Structure formats: C-alpha cells, structure tokens
Amino acid sequence: MTDDDAHVAGIATRLGAVRARIAAAEHDAGRPAGAVRLLVATKTMPASLIRAAIGAGVDLIGENRVQELVAKGPELAGLGVEIHLIGHLQGNKANPALRWATCVQSVDSPEIAARLGERSAEAGRVLDVLIQVNVSGEPTKYGVLPDSATDFAGAVAGIPGLRLRGFMTIGANSPDAGLVRAGYAHLRELRDAVVGSGLAGTTDVTELSMGMSGDLELAIAEGATIVRVGTGVFGARPR
C-alpha cells in the first residue's frame, strides 16, 4: 500500500465513522434517517484527496476561500459534486463564486447580498443563499448578529437572483455544551420566525447549516439539516 492508498483508505474509514455519528444523532433526536446532509469542508485539502472523498460517496463539499474554489474547481468539475461557499466573501469575488458554487452559505451583509443578486440575475441564474448569523457574538466570527437576522432575511428574500434557503452559523468556541447548544437553538428559532413571517421569498427557507466535527450531535439535536465536517473526514489539517 502506498502512502496515497493509505490516506485514501483513511478518508473512507473516517467518512464511515462520521456518517455513523450523524445517523446515531438523528436517531437520538427522534429525527428521520437522512434528515441531515453531510457537507465536507475541504479548505487546504488538495483536489486529489477531495476526489478520494467523492469516490467514497461525498456529494457536497464546502470551500472557504474563493481562491481555493477557483484553483480546485476545474479538477472537481464533472464529478457530480455540489460545491457551496462557506467562508466570508468579498463583493469583488462574486463572479468567481457564482462560477463554481451553487450556494453561498456565508451571506453576511446587505452589500454582498446585493452584489451576488445582481451578478446572479445578470447570468440568468437563481443562486441559493444562506444567511450567516454570529449566534455567539464572538468578535472573531463573521455573520450578522441575531437581533438583526430576521430583518436582514426579509430583505435578502426579496432580492431577485437569490433564493433564500436558510441560515448558517459557526458554533460558540466553548467547552460548555449547553452554551453551544443554546446558540444552535437560537438559529432554529430565527429560521422558524422567518418562515412564520409569511414574507415574500421565505417559502424555501428550510436549511440550518450548523455543527462541525467536534459538535455535530448538539447541532443535530437542535435541528441541523446540514453539518459541515472537515477534520472528521480528512484528519488534522496541516498548519
């Protein structure tokens, strides 16, 4: 077995373990099997390893940086994998983001929403978007604050060229599981408030992208529909 073979086998093994965790968490939460979709976070990973993950059954990946999206996109095209952008986006990168991603999960300002909507409409497309909310309020995290999230969602829902699908958050960086979980519950409540508002453009608001390698069980217990897992599948990222 070469090093490459070993790495590829490791990915398949870890992927199986992550899928088992998701299934167990769905069961424990009384949710139907398959209620939660796995997005594999591929930042810093070369296209060869991402292809190995796709070969092992991954059908949804997320990149943080447009530069990486552009660099790896051509090597991943045609493999049937769906790509989401899960990192902060600058307005001048809207076109390359649209070129490779079918969903931007990290919409966090009126400016970026407007820019993506314009570019998407120009291209004759409707781009799926999630609004990133900073549920913990940690200053190092991107995302709109919870207090302004429902108003912002109403505005994004009305932008031609965009289809608002839900909300995304990065959980609190805390060993206190109760605190982390409360943040995830808060995101669910925000989504439900937007759905309940009945505003135009909110009928497709179903998604909650929350939970990562370390805490996906907490997020699934609070209604995550997408969990984003990197190290759980690839092992530790090189620093």
Ligand X SMILES: *Cc1c(COP(=O)(O)O)cnc(C)c1O
The residues binding ligand X (CB under 6 A) are 41, 43, 64, 86, 170, 212-214, 228-232
What is the sign of the dihedral through the CA atoms of 161, 64, 167 and 55? positive
Locate 141 and state its tokens.
């995290």
Minimum Å distance from CB 172 to ligand X? 14
Residue closer to ligand X, measured from CB, 161 or 171: 171
Minimum Å distance from CB 236 to ligand X? 9
Residue closer to ligand X, measured from CB, 110 or 214: 214
Residue closer to ligand X, measured from CB, 196 or 214: 214
Which residues lie below 8 Å from residue 45, measured CB to CB, with a gap of 6+?
A: 234, 237
Locate 98 and state its tokens.
């649209």
Minimum Å distance from CB 166 to ligand X? 15
Place of tokens 């909507």: 117
Which residues lie below 8 Å from residue 236, measured CB to CB, with a gap of 6+?
A: none
In terms of Cα–Cα distance, which of 213, 239, 185, 209 is closest to 60? 209
Minimum Å distance from CB 160 to ligand X? 27
Locate 7 and state its tokens.
């790495």
When CB distances to ligand X are compared, the closest residue is 230
Q: What value does the CA radius of gyration of the chain take, rounded to a whole number of Å?
A: 17
Residue closer to ligand X, measured from CB, 26 or 108: 108
Minimum Å distance from CB 132 to ligand X? 9
How many residues can be counted in the chain? 239
Residue closer to ligand X, measured from CB, 163 or 228: 228
